[in-house]
Amino acid sequence: MTKIVISGWVPKQVTAPYADKAEFVYPPDGQNEFTRKELLKEIVDADGCLLMDNEGDRELIDTAKNLRAIANHGVGYDSIDWKYATEIGLPVINTPTQVTEATAEHTACLIFSVMRSIAHYDREVREGKWCSPNFSDINTQIEGSMLGILGFGRIGKRVCRKAQGMGMKVVYYDKFRAPEEVEKEYDVTYMDFDDVIKTADCISLHMPYFKENHHLFNLDKFRIMKPTAYFVNCARGKLVDEQALVTALKENIIKGAGIDVYENEPSVTPELCTLDNVILTPHIASLTMKARVGMCYEALDGIFGVLNGEKPRNVVNPEVLKF
């Protein structure tokens, strides 16, 4: 029977619709994910693999002698050595549709929370303080502020709508400028990358990570932001020089940040955790039950599509599909 390995624990509702198609192997109740050793053992004779938080590196791919499709539980697939997979003709699958709404919601929550210093006030109340001055510019009125979206794909567009719902204006940069009718529909203005950074009152990053854009956001980029502006990242940690972010926040080069992704996950630069002007969440932007289960279905549909000789739309290297 077809064997599908899922590297992390999943609720039964994830595998139930496919029960007659394959045998599923995943960690038992109470264990969040397979250890590397367990994963390498299970994957040896697997036909398909859905990676939750694990690396799909060359060793793992080479260990899996029967593997016909490998999927990541997310839209990003930088955790899979997709170049190597492509070289050897292995289809790589992602979940571009189901992550969108939850990730955009979380991004909007971070934008609004950091601009209104929600975490700071929460800490004050818990510490028994009730001493905020009557006039303070610790936070910023969202309505009328300018959001700069870097990466105007599915998630960037949903964030745009949510921000506009709060009265923000939106400028954007994307490697591929949107057609004029899309810009009209979304009521957005296109600018060069640096111009977005200079103009916006809050920057939200929505770009994929590739080695080529490592540390795309460094101290120079923070320095051209307005000192009153905020920085939000729910995309990938390695796009940002985390030490530069610490400096920017500590030296008031920028006003605040909302961060869901980190350069060396699961480690977080310790100094970041000591700063009051940053809100930190542990890479959970897509974490709603609806989204996470939907992402599993999207990935498994992609895997079974490939195994059935179809061309699912969420194969990121379709050139390997020779049928």
Q: Is 70 in the site for ligand DGY (CB under 6 A)?
A: no
The interface region with ligand DGY, picked from 31-39, 62-70, 72-80, 223-231 by CB under 6 A, is 72-80
Count Cβ atoms within 10 A of the Cβ of residue 297 and give its class: 0-12 exposed, 13-18 middle, 19 or more buried: middle
DSSP string, 111-171: HHHHHTTHHHHHHHHHTT-----SS--SS---TTPEEEEE--SHHHHHHHHHHHHTT-EEE
**Residue whose token pair is 């985390």:** 242
Sign of CA pseudo-dihedral 289, 156, 220, 120: negative
Counting residues that bind ligand DGY (by CB under 6 A) gives: 5
Residue 152 CB neighbours (<10 A): 25
Closest CA to 237 of 274, 263, 255: 263
Q: Which of 236, 242, 292, 298 is catalytic?
A: 236
From the list 140, 204, 233, 286, which residue makes contact with ligand DGY (rule: CB under 6 A)? 286
Tell me how far, at minimum, the Cβ of 99 lies from ligand DGY, in Å: 4
Q: Is 232 in the site for ligand DGY (CB under 6 A)?
A: no
Tell me how far, at minimum, the Cβ of 206 lies from ligand DGY, in Å: 11
Given the complex with ligand DGY, which of 215 and 283 has the nearer CB atom?
283
The question of whether 292 is a catalytic residue gets the answer no
The question of whether 236 is a catalytic residue gets the answer yes
Sign of CA pseudo-dihedral 8, 13, 19, 21: negative
The question of whether 283 is a catalytic residue gets the answer yes
Q: Is 27 in the site for ligand DGY (CB under 6 A)?
A: no
From the list 8, 27, 56, 74, which residue makes contact with ligand DGY (rule: CB under 6 A)? 74
d(CA 206, CA 32): 28
The set of residues, in sequence order, having a beta carbon less than 8 Å from that of 232 and lying 6+ positions away, is: 107, 110, 111, 114, 202, 203, 204, 205, 257, 258, 259
* Amino acid identity, position 9: W
Tell me how far, at minimum, the Cβ of 109 lies from ligand DGY, in Å: 15
Q: Is 75 in the site for ligand DGY (CB under 6 A)?
A: yes
The interface region with ligand DGY, picked from 16-24, 54-62, 68-76, 116-124 by CB under 6 A, is 68-76
Tell me how far, at minimum, the Cβ of 143 lies from ligand DGY, in Å: 30
Given the complex with ligand DGY, which of 75 and 146 has the nearer CB atom?
75
The residues of the shown chain that bind ligand DGY, judged by CB under 6 A, are: 74-76, 99, 286
Task: List, by residue number, the catalytic residues.
Answer: 236, 265, 283
